[in-house]
Amino acid sequence: VQLQASGGGLVQAGDSLKLSCVASGHPSSSYAMAWFRQTPGKEREFVAAISWSGGQNDYADSVNGRFTISKFNAKNTVFLQMNSLKPEDTAVYYCAAEKGPYRLGLLPRNSYEYYYWGQGTQVTVSS
């Protein structure tokens, strides 16, 4: 299984970025996906998650109202639209996928509940 994340970069506070993650080779036909982020010396932090259908999502309080997670099932792609970026959003962002099958109504926030991980993409927000 490969999760290929892209879209990170260096922006100024208040700017927007859109991250993408393409999943290939997943053995299950349904699975939740999520974005996490991590800064040096800190644990990986939950950002957002989305159900297989895309009809259910969940956000960390720190990004709710600024970030939007979405997905395009036809291309096994999940997106993270990040608006009104703040310096504290600076981190390496990782996409993750459950092992599957998707459990209706469950969107885990714990990193250990996600089985597959992408390589990470750096987001740096300058003040």
DSSP code per residue over 58-75: EE-TTTBTTEEEEEEGGG
Task: Count Cα neighbours of 49 within 13 Å in the Cβ-side half-sphere.
Answer: 21
User: Residue 1's pLDDT band (boundaries 50, 70, 90)?
Assistant: confident
Q: Tens of pLDDT along 67-111? A: 999 999 777 899 999 999 999 999 999 999 999 888 888 899 999
- Is a pLDDT exceeding 90 seen at residue 42? yes
Q: Which residues lie below 8 Å from residue 2, measured CB to CB, with a gap of 6+?
A: 22, 23, 24, 25
pLDDT attached to residue 75: 76
CA 92 to chain centre: 11
Averaged confidence pLDDT in the chain: 94
pLDDT attached to residue 30: 84
